[in-house]
A and B are shown apart, each in its own frame.
Chain A
Amino acid sequence: MKITLVIAAYILIMAAVTYLIRMAPFVLFRKKIRSRFLRSMLYYLPYAVLSAMVIPAVFSSTGSLLTAVVGLAVAILLAVFNRSLLVVALGASSAAYLTGLLLQLFQ
């Protein structure tokens, strides 16, 4: 019981810090930013964040470099042809899974 309370306290601390970080800009920045540079930066920021999150982290997402590379390549190809988020995500997963199966066959 004591341990459960301790864990609950940690979970609460984690949640509070995470929520404050998310909430502060939403509540504090209620006016449009005027600077054209800052507005441009905020426009490009999402794409920069997502790109930096994908590479290189994706290469260790499947437990094998080759399956990850094939999965990523399929994802990029599908995205170039404007497929939906779900199709691209499942396409990447399927490609990685099939590559993993093939690797096992030839080992």
Chain B
Amino acid sequence: MKKNTLFKTGLCDGIPIALGYLSVSFGFGISAVNAGLSPLAAVLTSLTNVTSAGQVAGLAIMAPETGVLTLLSLATVLEMILTQFTINIRYFLMSLSLSQRLDRSFTLRHRFLASFGITDEVFGVASSKKEPLKPIYMYGLILLPVLGWTLGTLLGSVAGSILPDGLKYALGIAIYGMFVAIVVPPAKRDRGVLCASLLAIAVSCLIAYIPIFSFITSGFAIIIAALIASAVAAYFFPIREDEDGGDAA
């Protein structure tokens, strides 16, 4: 009964993420087919990767020009590995942060399984939970976003051309709205969170707009900004020891 409720809570928390993903991955489906991938390849990419920036970069390696697919070579395989590593290394930090919030019932088997679904948004929602994370909640939270991401890719790859441009563009901001909704409420009551957030914004803008930093990819910019901001916030606003720490009774 209680497990059932937790699973449902997870599903509910995942609905907005899934809806956001539906629109974002729709765009990925369109680009994948335009680049020369079959809808099946596009759908498989989304189902197995569940990540936006990494897939877009991967697409650019698989099909550098419209309709031109790359052959398999050591150089392109290395490029693919390095690119995915660079763009997705932020998940390492997210998983590390979440690993500190896991309930004792999170056995090794669950860790192998649930870590598959750690995305920016899943991470954001899971971090906003006060209680330790149980496996069944994480599965509920992950299920709909993965389905939404895959379904959106399918729809985009088979029917992308029918949506008007204005609507497509407007859907692009949905995912950012969700991030704002995760950060703003705790930033209102916790000065440490506010400090970390504003500092991260400042650093990421510096990296984005100052030309000498142009060699830094957007994936690395996020990592650098987040590490600096959270270190400064941790130094000036250390958390109380009872906060966030204790295992479930």
Contact = CB atoms under 8 A, between A and B. Distances in A.
Contacts of A96: 169-170, 173
A43 B242 CA distance: 13
B187 interface: yes
A93 B177 contact: yes
Given A37-B234, A49-B200, A62 B173 contact: yes
Interface residues of A, number: 80
Contacts of A93: 23, 170-171, 173-174, 177
B34 interface: no
Interface stretch (B2-10, B92-100, B146-154, B155-163): B92-100
A51 to B, nearest CB: 4
A62 B179 CA distance: 16
B58 interface: yes
A14 to B, nearest CB: 5
Contact of A39 (B48, B62, B171, B245): B245
Interface residues of B, number: 113
B41 A8 contact: yes
Nearest to B47: A15
A106 interface: no
Nearest to A79: B184
Contacts of B221: 52
A26 B182 contact: no
Interface in A22-61: 22-27, 29-30, 32-33, 36-58, 61
A18 B91 contact: yes
Q: Which of A15, A51, A72 has the most chain B CB within a 10 Å cutoff?
A: A51
B125 interface: yes
Contact of A41 (B176, B180, B181, B231): B231
B44 interface: yes
Contacts of B225: 48, 51-52
Given A8-B44, A79-B184, A83-B181, A49 B80 contact: no
Interface string A71-103: 110011011101111111111111011001100
A10 B81 CA distance: 9
B39 interface: no
A45 to B, nearest CB: 4
B108 A27 contact: yes
18 contacts: A4-B38, A11-B44, A14-B49, A21-B95, A40-B192, A41-B233, A44-B196, A47-B182, A47-B200, A49-B123, A50-B183, A51-B196, A51-B229, A52-B203, A55-B201, A56-B208, A61-B172, A86-B15
Interface pairs A-B: 7 shortest CB-CB? A92-B177, A97-B170, A40-B234, A79-B184, A88-B181, A15-B48, A86-B16
Interface of A: 3-4, 6-15, 17-19, 21-27, 29-30, 32-33, 36-58, 61-64, 67-68, 71-72, 75-76, 78-80, 82-94, 96-97, 100-101, 104
Given A51-B225, A71-B176, 11 more contacts: A15-B49, A26-B115, A32-B247, A54-B179, A61-B172, A67-B173, A75-B173, A87-B181, A88-B178, A89-B20, A90-B19
